[in-house]
């Protein structure tokens, strides 16, 4: 059990490190978020396995994570079409 939790912490915190350290590019931020979601999915899978019931919660979690990824990629495509790059602070995304 402790080895499985170690893998969860390693996956989650490496995704958090990528998300927080590579804030310049939107694509790397999205990859860090998806890696964190993968770690959370792994943890929820382990937790529900030990409880004995793996209901539809994992399917619902995967549906929401896929929707989050699709929204992030659509924002990335619109930023690249409008400004030509994926630099977060060079676009007009933060203009009020």
In tens, the pLDDT along 29-77 reads 889 999 999 999 989 888 888 887 777 888 888 899 999 999 989 988 8
User: The pTM is what?
Assistant: 0.80
Fold annotation for 2-94: Helix Hairpins (1.10.287)
Cα(78)–Cα(93) distance, integer angstroms:
10
Q: What is the pLDDT of residue 91?
A: 60
């Amino acid at each position: 059990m402790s080895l499985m939790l170690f893998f969860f912490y390693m996956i989650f915190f490496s995704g958090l490190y990528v998300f927080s350290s590579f804030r310049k590019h939107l694509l790397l931020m999205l990859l860090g978020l998806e890696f964190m979601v993968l770690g959370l999915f792994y943890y929820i899978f382990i937790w529900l396995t030990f409880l004995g019931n793996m209901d539809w919660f994992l399917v619902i979690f995967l549906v929401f994570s896929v929707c989050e990824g699709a929204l992030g990629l659509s924002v990335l495509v619109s930023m690249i079409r409008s400004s030509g790059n994926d630099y977060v602070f060079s676009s007009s995304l933060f203009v009020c």
